[in-house]
Amino acid sequence: MSTLTKKQKQIYNYIEKYIEKKEYSPTFEEIKGHFGYSTLSGVQEHIDALVKKGMISKNRYNARGIELNRKDEMASILLKGTIAAGVPIEALEEYETITVPKTLLSKSGNHFALRIKGNSMIQDGVFDGDTVVIRKQDTAENGETVVALINDNEATLKKIFRVPGGFKLQPANPEIPALMVKQLVVQGKVISVMRNYEMRRTISENLNLLIFTDELRQLITKTQEETKQEFRPNQEFKIWLQTENKPDQDKFCLETAYTFLNELLLLWVCKDKQLINFEIIENKQQLTDLKQNAQEIYSHIFTKNIFDWYNPSSFLLQEITNSFNKYDFSHIDRDILGKLYEQFIPTEERKRLGQFYTPETVIDYILDQIGYTTNIGNKKIIDPSCGSGGFITRATKRLIQASKEKNNSKAIIEKVVNNIHGLDINPFACYLAETNILIQLIDLIVEVKKENPDYEMPKIKIFQTNTMETPSLLSGEEQEIRDIKNRSGQFEKGFDFVVGNPPYLEAKKMDKETKKLCKEACPSVANGAFDLFVCFIDKGLRLLKTNGKLGYIFPNKFLIASYAKNMREELLNNYSIKEIIDVSECEIFKNVSVYPVILIVENKKPKNNAIRTAEK
């Protein structure tokens, strides 16, 4: 709610004149053409700013849905600075004038505004960085939120209560104690609150991402502690146990915390993309209602799942609101939660599961080397051990970028759904992978829904399954999984690209069922003291179509281990090895005692197989 920038004023004036002349608003394309923008994102940014400043309203499902807010419905008041302990309001000499809707003012009296610093009133929906509208008055009733001057020169915003011998100034935050004072001066009463959108940090900037990641890590810890306190054995936990070899209540609570925060993060992304409307989430019922509304965007993520047993406290929801509202998620395209999840899984658990995170530089290198760069619009790619989706998320981003010039938004979405595939045994990892790809598609969904509000996003092809096991025929989804694994149906020709960082797990550490499945699925390589990643190499090669390419990263012991001899001979005799890069000296995996190599092969008869070594 501040004055318009020069460009915002120009766009506002253009819209105003356009409506006066034609009696309907211009489209984004027309605004783009008039001002010479190369893409619609620049227009979107300024329109969003005008909406947030109260100058216009916009129907996101109508291409000509811009409406001007009448100027006589706005008023100018003084912004008298920031209210914080030790800063006397009246001592501030320079004031700023801001424009606010008249609906935020009371019917009578003089008003001013203050910017909030601190978290003492979050349970009343007043967050750090917000702006509050104050009506000047020197009296107040018990329980009203006031600006009070104490100790002659310290201003604070609290609820006021008269008590014997003085006053109690009560914060709306159970972690902050009340102030007891004998005397105070009431300077005004809070009338309304405005969210601060102007000072929000862009999450796509690295420094802001680091700050947000640290805040998110703290919220994960708080949420996990709350889930542990609330947890009682339930039906959802019993279902979850069926996917785990070694049941761990703490891990269930951690995954519950992550799913909860992942849903909230995705809701904020949808909000900043203007797909749903809300400002704060105060309680579980509001969260449930928002998730119900969000099913219109992509039903599969927001449907009820085994982690919905958790009932978050209202205070925690308000803390999260306070944190998330400080950031602009409209340009988010990173696997934030997936990376954090890697940090929270105990080292021994990660070793047992063979789970190691793949740096983005490695993913991009492998995608480059297999040729997933140009002419990829109709090429199928799969990661048979996708985890939280590192490879397929980066592949999705490339496919979207490569398809923009010749395809509309709906066609691009269909290309992603039809050509990007991921398999993983862990249901929570699949949930994260699906979310990360959905984030890449959000802008396209916005565009499609403008033309067709009833558009239903098809399911992203991430499947929770054991790659070593072929499912029984129980549903349409399982039929598709079976076709993928057996190279049948629509997948008869195989995949153009197979990528991944397969799990590393020695046979001696496997449970009996996993070892049995490996021997049945990969009899030529699952013998002796084999490792699980060799079975994934075997599976990956069999998924390749003729002239298709595979790009994997796995331990360098593959080059010398006796159990991998058959696999090495298979590669040398039947595949064209583009490169085997020993990166064990590069230390690309920090804090992991695994020395990796990158393998790039093509499914065609070899001519001159060679090995390259990368220097440190």
- The one-letter amino acid code at 268 reads W
In angstroms, the Cα distances linking 280 to 193, 314, 417 are 12, 11, 32
Distance CA 434, CA 459 (A): 9
> How many residues are listed for the chain in this entry?
616
Q: Helices in 202-313 by DSSP H: which ranges?
A: 206-230, 235-241, 249-272, 284-294, 299-302
Distance CA 610, CA 604 (A): 15
Q: Identify which of 77, 321, 58 has the alpha carbon closest to the alpha carbon of residue 192.
A: 77
Spatial CB neighbours of 348, under 8 Å, sequence gap ≥ 6: none
Catalytic annotation present for 158: yes
Vertex 109 angle, CA 106 and 112, to 5°: 80
Encoding tokens for residue 295?
Answer: 């099913």
Catalytic annotation present for 406: no
Active-site residue, selected from the candidate residues 32, 53, 80, 120: 120
Tell me which residue has tokens 């992550």.
258
Tell me which residue has tokens 């001696």.
508
Active-site residue, selected from the candidate residues 53, 158, 380, 549: 158
Spatial CB neighbours of 80, under 8 Å, sequence gap ≥ 6: 89, 92, 95, 112, 113, 114
Distance CA 438, CA 333 (A): 10
CB 296 within 8 A of CB 267: no
Tell me which residue has tokens 């542990």.
228
Which residues are part of the catalytic machinery?
120, 158
